[in-house]
Amino acid sequence: MAAPLRVSAPPSSLKLAGVDDDVAPHAMSWAGVTAASFSFDDLVGLGLPTDDRGPVEEGFARVAPYGFSITDSARERTAELMAPYRDLICTDQPLVATPDLSRVRQALLAEFPYAASAIDPILMDVVARKYVKLRSTLLVGEPGCGKSRFARRLGEEIGLYVARIDGASLDGAFGGTSRRYNSTEPCFPIRALAQAKQANPLIVLDELEKAATNRRDGRLWDILLAFLEPETARRYHDHALQMEFDLSFPSYVFTSNSRTDLPVPLLDRLRIIQFPQPAEEHLPLLLRRIVDDLAKDDGVDPRFYYDDVIEQRAAIERVWKTGSIRRLRKIVSSIVTAVPKGRSIQ
């Protein structure tokens, strides 16, 4: 982990020529840009320190490099909205370094033995990278094939904070809402960064095809373009916080049952991977994983369940007929539900 930043303070006030002091907004630039008349004493009321950041140190990223602006009439509102994001705005965030990829691959294959065709190209993204950054990826597969769980476990094994959200519940608010609304909030990536305490979390958006398509509130598919395009992501203006952020560090993985209805401009910005379905030869490993999960949920030793499940394997195969992990879990769950939890382990 890098040492804390050593920095030097900029001038306490900058003047924008030709701007009337009575109407010009107070502003500050953390990138050396001339700003309207501004005293750093004004920052004290916001609970924000004077900006004395120096160069970004190795292993960190500056998510808020462009500064912020405050109008006299909105000073109290600005303080209220910025308070939860103070650390994100004022402090360089750590980057997650690329881990041992052979270990990550082995762990993912043990859990998803049928998904090598998805695992390998994704891990190739970071083979030559010092810090984790995945290509924006759309996993397309049949319902219940395990793609949502895979996206989450991918982030966890790599060491990324995983911020998951359902596409079915989203509209244009993903990109943040205007400050004129009482319910205003920053865009979802900024909220994810603030919670993650790292600059390059993984944002997982499930069921992308089910997002609202009403343009009145902004269509999610259109809003996403700004985050997936590197140039716009590097200077994303958040309407709630009235700041520009560098949001090029997070990685994005989307899941969808189909790509048929997704717009071409969005698909053009995504790598599309067909997520496979498990087959009969994968059943032993899948049964072990499911039994482990169910035992953990029930708070019992997995050995209480293994023998009963193995005894019923032929029946499981006959009913399951390959494909849906969700259906397989339901079948196994019905078997272990009848197992006495208090019996002795032989």
Say which CATH number the domain at 111 has: 3.40.50.300
pLDDT of residue 299: 84
Cα atoms in the Cβ-side hemisphere of radius 13 Å centred on 305: 23
Amino acid of residue 20:
D
- Whether 344 is covered by a domain: the verdict is no
Same domain, 328 and 256: no
pLDDT of residue 3: 35
Rounded distance between C-alpha atoms, residue 144 and residue 134, angstroms = 24
Same domain, 173 and 256: yes
Q: Mean pLDDT lowest for which of 141-155, 176-190, 266-280?
A: 176-190
Same domain, 177 and 209: yes
- Average per-residue pLDDT for the chain: 80
- Whether 341 is covered by a domain: the verdict is no
Choice between 160 and 174, residue whose per-residue pLDDT is larger:
160
Return all residues near 38 (Cβ < 8 A) that are at least 6 apart: 13, 14, 26, 27, 28
Give the number of domains in the chain.
3
Rounded distance between C-alpha atoms, residue 148 and residue 145, angstroms = 8
Give the closest residue to 279 by CA, choosing from 113, 86, 62: 113
- Whether 18 is covered by a domain: the verdict is no
pLDDT of residue 217: 64
Same domain, 220 and 318: no
Q: Is 10's pLDDT higher than 60? A: no
pLDDT of residue 44: 41
DSSP state of 273: E
Percent of the chain with pLDDT over 90: 45
Same domain, 258 and 117: yes
Give the closest residue to 61 by CA, choosing from 240, 245, 238: 245
Amino acid of residue 66:
Y
Query: Of all helices (H) and strands (E), which one includes residue 190?
Result: helix 188-196
Choice between 274 and 184, residue whose per-residue pLDDT is larger:
274
Same domain, 116 and 241: yes
Choice between 344 and 288, residue whose per-residue pLDDT is larger:
288
Give tens-digit pLDDT for 312-333.
888 888 888 777 898 898 999 8
Average the pLDDT over 89-113 and give the result.
95
- Whether 129 is covered by a domain: the verdict is yes
At residue 103 the predicted structure's pLDDT band, cuts being 50, 70 and 90, is very high
pLDDT of residue 134: 98
pLDDT of residue 72: 52
Give the closest residue to 64 by CA, choosing from 227, 228, 238: 238
Q: Mean pLDDT lowest for which of 14-23, 171-180, 238-247, 293-302?
A: 14-23
- Whether 11 is covered by a domain: the verdict is no
Q: Is 143's pLDDT higher than 60? A: yes
Q: Is residue 53 within 8 Å of residue 61, measured between CB atoms?
A: no
- Whether 264 is covered by a domain: the verdict is yes
Residue numbers of the domain that contains 88:
26-93
- Partners of 69 in beta bridges: 27
Same domain, 154 and 296: no
Rounded distance between C-alpha atoms, residue 320 and residue 315, angstroms = 8
Residue at token pair 């596409």: 167
Q: Is residue 256 within 8 Å of residue 123, measured between CB atoms?
A: no
At residue 165 the predicted structure's pLDDT band, cuts being 50, 70 and 90, is very high
Which of 258, 274, 290 finishes a domain? 274
pLDDT of residue 204: 97
Same domain, 125 and 240: yes
Rounded distance between C-alpha atoms, residue 201 and residue 334, angstroms = 36
pLDDT of residue 15: 32
Average the pLDDT over 273-300 and give the result.
89
At residue 67 the predicted structure's pLDDT band, cuts being 50, 70 and 90, is low
Give the closest residue to 141 by CA, choosing from 152, 153, 126, 151: 151
Same domain, 155 and 254: yes
Q: Is residue 252 within 8 Å of residue 261, measured between CB atoms?
A: no
Same domain, 167 and 287: no
Rounded distance between C-alpha atoms, residue 240 and residue 23, angstroms = 21
Average the pLDDT over 260-279 and give the result.
95
- Whether 108 is covered by a domain: the verdict is yes
Rounded distance between C-alpha atoms, residue 98 and residue 155, angstroms = 12
pLDDT of residue 69: 59
Same domain, 161 and 259: yes
Same domain, 124 and 195: yes
Rounded distance between C-alpha atoms, residue 74 and residue 51, angstroms = 20
Choice between 58 and 317, residue whose per-residue pLDDT is larger:
58
Give the pair of three-digit tokens for residue 68: 């912020």
- Whether 155 is covered by a domain: the verdict is yes
Give tens-digit pLDDT for 188-224.
999 999 999 999 999 999 999 988 776 666 788 999 9
Residue at token pair 């083979």: 127
Average the pLDDT over 218-242 and give the result.
91
